[in-house]
């Protein structure tokens, strides 16, 4: 669009900050609302796939991030007996391509650190609870009753628990998973250059993801109702449980002394039949939250922001831009949401049968060339072969 737009963005997460930087880069006036009164490098390990790396490269930010990431050459999952379930090498999909293990906080800090110089106005402690006049020039109403705007467009990037879908008249289909994970990060890495997971049936799942700087993130999958009992049993007993399944995690667990160093997160699946109405559009987890088993949350959020900003740059009206963006993203989001929803119970559920089926089927699917290729393509994103960069070349 060849005029300067007033853009309101709700949510200073990965999707919101990326969209804010891209739109400010096009010369639009951007106000970014965040409900918390301070933001910082919070989170644990995330896997930046080639698709997400590509977006950051095109934003000119990847080089600044690379010294902080661990190049990930392979995804390796085994059963409790050490039998291979999945072993996928990124380089097999396209030579030189790798994943990047990183601390979500490092990515957030990088994006957040650019906001001021890009001219984005960040309003902290401003929880947006309602949107008005969404068909024309939307205004955003905060929890104190104060109105902000009117804006030419509002982007709701306020995560899976978005309270704004209702006020845009969009119905979200939400599934709360029974399972979540206990996360921690320590400054020692028992595995290098791989995401390593051990699954015992569908009840126990442990993962180690190195996240750069010699640090490693550990996650321990568990039922959401079991967290209180786990805390009551005490840290030592949990440590024993983890080490029984994964002795390799010992150096990491030696660095943490109590549950204070851990955080329990639950997952939800969010599906919106359409992602926009009037001059309001939803991106990131607000439209398509999913369990983290495919490691795509951050990547899809970055791709959403890029697709939307390109559509806004090239289209002549806000609503044609939203339509183009939503058509552009539709199949990719449907694919990842569908595959993730299908796979999740095979890794975390109450069904023993699904665990047995997974142990039988996954190694075969992984060996068979066409399905192996499909798995790699799912992991990397369809454009990974065009990646201009190779994190491995940048990191000592």
Ligand X SMILES: Cc1cc2nc3c(=O)[nH]c(=O)nc-3n(C[C@H](O)[C@H](O)[C@H](O)COP(=O)(O)OP(=O)(O)OC[C@H]3O[C@@H](n4cnc5c(N)ncnc54)[C@H](O)[C@@H]3O)c2cc1C
Q: Please state the closest distance from residue 396 (CB atom) to ligand X, in A.
A: 25
Q: Please state the closest distance from residue 242 (CB atom) to ligand X, in A.
A: 18
**Joined tokens for residue 360:** 């039988």
Contact range with ligand X by CB under 6 A, out of 90-98, 246-254, 295-303, 339-347: 295-303
Burial (CB < 10 A; 0-12, 13-18, 19+), residue 57, is: middle
Distance of alpha carbon 357 from alpha carbon 80, whole angstroms: 15
Which C-beta is closer to ligand X: that of 266 or that of 350? 266
R_g (Cα) of the chain, nearest Å: 21
Q: Please state the closest distance from residue 159 (CB atom) to ligand X, in A.
A: 3
Which C-beta is closer to ligand X: that of 130 or that of 377? 130
Segment holding 374, helix H or strand E = helix 369-380
Q: Please state the closest distance from residue 292 (CB atom) to ligand X, in A.
A: 5
Where residue 46 falls (left for φ over 0; alpha for ψ -120 to 50; beta otherwise) is beta
* The binder of ligand X chosen from 298, 333, 375, 389 (CB under 6 A): 298
What are residue 220's phi and psi, to 5 degrees?
Answer: -130, 110
Where residue 125 falls (left for φ over 0; alpha for ψ -120 to 50; beta otherwise) is left
Sequence-separated (6 or more) residues with CB below 8 Å from residue 82? none
Contact range with ligand X by CB under 6 A, out of 151-159, 328-336, 366-374, 384-392: 151-159
What are residue 197's phi and psi, to 5 degrees?
Answer: -130, 145
Which C-beta is closer to ligand X: that of 1 or that of 294? 294
134 is a contact residue toward ligand X (CB under 6 A): no
DSSP structure string for 85-152? EEEEEHHHHSTT--EEEEEHHHHHHHHHHHHHHHT-EEE-S--EEEEE-TTSS-EEEETTS-EE---S
* The binder of ligand X chosen from 5, 21, 77, 157 (CB under 6 A): 157
Q: Identify the CA nearest to 75 among candidates 189, 191, 182, 190.
A: 191
Sign (positive or negative) of CA dihedral 304, 47, 88, 354: negative
Residues 23-62 that bind ligand X (CB under 6 A): 33-36, 42-44, 46
Q: Quickly tell me which residue has 């994964």 as its tokens.
A: 246
**Joined tokens for residue 220:** 């321990």
Binding mask 93-122 for ligand X (x = CB under 6 A): -----------x------------------
Q: How many CB atoms lie under 10 A from the CB of residue 355?
A: 21
Which C-beta is closer to ligand X: that of 45 or that of 391? 45
221 is a contact residue toward ligand X (CB under 6 A): no
Q: Identify the CA nearest to 382 among candidates 314, 283, 297, 299.
A: 299
348 is a contact residue toward ligand X (CB under 6 A): no
Distance of alpha carbon 10 from alpha carbon 246, whole angstroms: 41
Kindly determine how many residues on this chain lie close enough to bind ligand X according to the rule CB under 6 A.
30
* The binder of ligand X chosen from 8, 52, 71, 292 (CB under 6 A): 292
130 is a contact residue toward ligand X (CB under 6 A): no
Residues 8-27 that bind ligand X (CB under 6 A): 10-16
266 is a contact residue toward ligand X (CB under 6 A): no
Q: Identify the CA nearest to 130 among candidates 7, 322, 280.
A: 280
212 is a contact residue toward ligand X (CB under 6 A): no
Residues 170-209 that bind ligand X (CB under 6 A): 183
Q: Please state the closest distance from residue 8 (CB atom) to ligand X, in A.
A: 11
Q: Please state the closest distance from residue 359 (CB atom) to ligand X, in A.
A: 25
* The binder of ligand X chosen from 201, 221, 297, 381 (CB under 6 A): 297
Distance of alpha carbon 318 from alpha carbon 305, whole angstroms: 15
* The binder of ligand X chosen from 31, 158, 291, 390 (CB under 6 A): 158
Which C-beta is closer to ligand X: that of 9 or that of 249? 9
Under the rule (CB under 6 A), what is the footprint of ligand X? 10-16, 33-36, 42-44, 46, 104, 127-128, 157-159, 163, 183, 284-286, 292, 297-298, 301
């Amino acid at each position: 669009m060849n005029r300067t737009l007033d853009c309101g963005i709700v949510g200073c997460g990965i999707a919101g900050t990326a969209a804010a930087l891209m739109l400010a880069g096009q010369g639009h006036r951007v106000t970014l609302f965040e409900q918390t009164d301070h933001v910082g490098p919070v989170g644990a390990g995330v896997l930046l796939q080639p698709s997400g790396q590509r977006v950051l490269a095109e934003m000119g930010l990847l080089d600044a991030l690379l010294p902080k990431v661990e190049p990930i050459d392979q995804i390796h999952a085994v059963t409790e007996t050490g039998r291979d379930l999945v072993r996928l090498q990124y380089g097999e999909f396209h030579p030189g391509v790798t994943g990047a293990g990183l601390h979500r906080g490092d990515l957030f800090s990088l994006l957040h650190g650019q906001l001021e110089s890009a001219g984005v106005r960040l309003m902290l402690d401003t929880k947006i609870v309602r949107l008005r006049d969404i068909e024309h020039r939307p205004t955003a109403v905060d929890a104190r009753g104060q109105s902000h705007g009117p804006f030419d467009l509002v982007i709701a990037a306020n995560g899976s628990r978005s309270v704004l879908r209702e006020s845009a008249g969009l119905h979200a289909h939400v599934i709360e998973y029974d399972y979540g994970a206990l996360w921690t990060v320590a400054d020692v890495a028992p595995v290098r250059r791989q995401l390593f997971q051990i699954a015992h049936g569908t009840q126990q799942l442990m993962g180690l993801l190195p996240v750069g700087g010699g640090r490693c993130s550990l996650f321990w999958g568990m039922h959401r109702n079991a967290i209180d009992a786990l805390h009551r049993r005490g840290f030592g007993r949990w440590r024993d449980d983890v080490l029984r399944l994964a002795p390799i995690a010992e150096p990491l667990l030696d660095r943490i002394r109590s549950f204070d160093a851990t955080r329990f997160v639950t997952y939800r699946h969010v599906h919106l039949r359409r992602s926009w109405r009037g001059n309001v559009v939803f991106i990131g987890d607000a439209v398509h939250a999913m369990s983290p088993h495919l490691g795509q949350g951050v990547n899809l959020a970055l791709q959403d922001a890029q697709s939307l900003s390109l559509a806004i740059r090239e289209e002549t009206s806000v609503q044609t831009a939203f339509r183009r963006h939503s058509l552009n993203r539709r199949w990719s989001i449907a694919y990842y949401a569908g595959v993730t929803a299908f796979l999740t119970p095979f890794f975390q559920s109450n069904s023993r049968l699904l665990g047995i089926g997974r142990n039988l089927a996954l190694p075969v699917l992984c060996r068979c060339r066409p399905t192996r290729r499909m798995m790699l393509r799912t992991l990397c994103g369809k454009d990974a072969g065009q990646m201009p960069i190779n994190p491995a070349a940048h990191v000592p």
